[in-house]
Every structure is written in C-alpha cells, then in structure tokens.
Amino acid sequence: MDDRTVDLIFMGSLESLPPVSSKIVRIFTSSTFTDTTMERNTLMAQCYPKLKDYCREKHGLEFQVSNQRI
C-alpha cells in the first residue's frame, strides 16, 4: 500500500481501504486497575455496544474487545 493511500485512510477516507480478509474487527485496550476505571467503564457500557452494532449492521463484521488490566 502506498503512502498516499495510508494518508487517506488516516484522514478518514474509507474508499481507499484494502479488501477485508477477515470478518472480525478486534481492538486491544490495556490499563491499570485504578487510573482509567471511569474511561474503561464508559467504553464498555456506551461505546463498544454501538461499535458492535455498527460493524454487524453496516459491514457484516464481528466486533471484539480484548481488555487487559495490568
């Protein structure tokens, strides 16, 4: 993938995305037990369910979260 295509993707242009080879969108988050509790809880309760629905309904993809606390 050339640099221009990568730049377009980072600027939000989804037309330049390469073909999808997987049906899973997986993100990884890592935090300590205490310093980001509110942020983690907000992501888990409000953001991730919406992303899961969006991925499934709009693109037929499964959204997964790998959440590690250290």
- Whole-number pLDDT of residue 19: 80
Angle at 16 between CA 2 and CA 44, to 5 degrees: 110
Host H or E run for residue 63: strand 62-69
Stated pTM of the model: 0.65
CA distance 34 to 22: 34
CA distance 19 to 57: 18
What would the two tokens of residue 48 be?
A: 């991730």
What would the two tokens of residue 5 be?
A: 């295509």
What's the pLDDT tens digit per position in 8-50?
888 988 887 778 788 999 999 888 878 888 898 899 999 999 9
What's the pLDDT tens digit per position in 44-67?
999 999 999 999 999 999 999 998
